[in-house]
Chain A
């Protein structure tokens, strides 16, 4: 009677496809949401970038030495406008920085480069740390001052090399593909986890707790089909639904790539993400394991609950725990094998590793084993629940 598992599986899947709202929520929404989130965020960051390039920094000065203007023109050309003010106008100038009419104010000591003065000359920089353009203007002003200092030094010491002393060369050893991998692995494991769970949750509560609540499960229990087969058929259908919503999320990521690459800081192309077939296979294996454990959690709770409402009440805390787990991997990258032994958490870490080209088979297999063990125990409990008179008495 293995056929009966397939009969039940087919019915459950048909149910999801027949219900347009449910089908949309499970198959289309995850991908759509991800595509929209990624595209919007990418678009926003791109716009910020453009704005920054278009913006012309306005620097007000008091007692400005001519060398400053020369250094500024050499560094930023027309990208920086310099306004000169009388010392009496200082308060008004500060006000302008506060209001954002100008970005920076530089107040030089009187007789800044003169010969006959006591002590070192100084310059005070006024910037507004809550305005992005002012922060940026401040750094630009610093660069100009630095370059001006170098000019003065080389004049005094008799050459540019003498003033420079040494040069610094900065190299990034990260491979471009790794940079891209790091960027994509920030958010994606969490989103995959969420959609994997959410897809199974909606359908699972309805297909098990819902059937108990509506009393339709009684007719099924009266057929010669083994109760374990009913339970397994329902679980398998859920796993398929959950995976489908996950694949939909992956599709969403792919769709949004053209719009979203600047969101990850730019500087690389997503064509740098040279994931091979084996990476995708590993990803799918981890996702299947995770889907099975989610499904077993949802099925067990739904089987124990009397109705959909009660099931929802018990599933919510489980969902929260999993959410927190997946969010924590955004910020932490724990070392050591222990973390991979934690079911589900280990899967999320493994998925992250695959995306970052850091996957190792040891940790991957540990996470698979622990999750599958976990899912099997819950699935076994769920099947037991289907045999319990008390739990299944809803007829």
Chain B
């Protein structure tokens, strides 16, 4: 269970970032007053265009950055007050997760297991399950620098799941993956949902949200513009598909702003 309440995050922009963005503003409000809940056994999706603030929200939940205001509770633990407890309950997956090139899969898995405070037999149990699930067994003793990029990706996912987290957060799960791997990943997320995990993903791809998510939060320019199941969103907008629904809400939000 994740409860995000009224969180806002503003970044201070460095000179370089200001020139890159072409703005004179010293600050960038990345997200403002975001509130939503994700429950066990469901996949919650944050859907929105690039720069909407999805990654910022996910990083706040994962304790990598602190929201300026608001609160986040992960399975009863507060992100702000008990960040280590929160980290032991969740994992944050992205397609940019890298594995240390100097070690074998076997070693890295054990290393991270120990960092999560697991003992050897717990690690062994998880390794059996995950290495089989992701087909890493054959490559367990290969240095990761000698692995294909697909294998490294799978290993990084397996490592992130070593502690069997209750909450799985995946930033843009299908980004940069070929269709077959993307399918494997979404199937696996469904499997986790079946196990009663709380899953949150972010995506900018309509079909991913449509097919994978039980509930969707439309995030536009740092705020949640609409929320609900696919059907609720279609009803609300009278649109035929999510694509149309998204654009009708997008237009309305922009009109309100200006």
Contacts and interface: CB of A to CB of B under 8 A. Distances in A.
Nearest to B91: A222
* Central interface residue in A4, A19, A221, A395, by most chain B CB within 10 Å: A395
A11 B111 contact: yes
Nearest to B92: A222
Contacts of B102: 15, 18-19
B99 interface: yes
Contacts of B62: 222
Given A3-B114, A4-B114, A215-B97, A222 B156 contact: no
Contact of B64 (A1, A211, A395): A395
B87 A224 contact: yes
B96 A215 contact: yes
A26 to B, nearest CB: 14
A223 B115 contact: yes
B34 to A, nearest CB: 18
Nearest to B97: A219
B100 interface: yes
Contacts of B112: 219, 223
Contact of A215 (B84, B91, B92, B98): B98
Contact of A224 (B96, B99, B116): B116
B96 A7 contact: no
B101 A214 contact: yes
A226 B84 contact: yes
B85 interface: yes
A78 interface: no
* Central interface residue in A3, A389, A393, by most chain B CB within 10 Å: A389
B71 interface: no
B26 to A, nearest CB: 14
A223 B65 contact: no
A219 B65 contact: no
Contacts of A393: 65
A218 B116 CA distance: 14
B51 interface: no
Contact of B156 (A1, A219, A389): A219
A305 B64 CA distance: 19
A1 B102 CA distance: 25
Interface in B95-130: 96-103, 107, 111-112, 114-117
B159 interface: yes
Nearest to A390: B12
Given A18-B103, A215-B97, A220 B66 contact: no
Nearest to B89: A224
A99 interface: no
Contacts of B159: 219
* Central interface residue in A215, A223, A225, A395, by most chain B CB within 10 Å: A223
A157 to B, nearest CB: 86
A333 interface: no
Contacts of B99: 216, 219
Given A15-B102, A214-B101, A223 B116 contact: yes
* Central interface residue in B88, B102, B115, by most chain A CB within 10 Å: B115
A225 B115 contact: yes
Interface string B54-94: 00000100101110000000000000000011011001101
Contact of A1 (B12, B59, B117): B117
B64 A222 contact: yes
Contacts of B203: none
A222 B98 contact: no
B76 to A, nearest CB: 15
Nearest to A223: B115
Contacts of A218: 64, 96-98
B92 A216 contact: no
Nearest to B156: A219
Nearest to A218: B97
Contact of B111 (A1, A7, A226, A395): A7
Interface in A17-40: 18-19
A393 B66 CA distance: 12
B98 A214 contact: yes
12 contacts: A1-B117, A3-B117, A7-B111, A11-B103, A14-B107, A15-B103, A215-B96, A222-B62, A223-B87, A224-B88, A226-B84, A393-B65
Given A4-B117, A214-B98, 6 more contacts: A214-B101, A219-B112, A219-B156, A219-B160, A222-B160, A393-B65
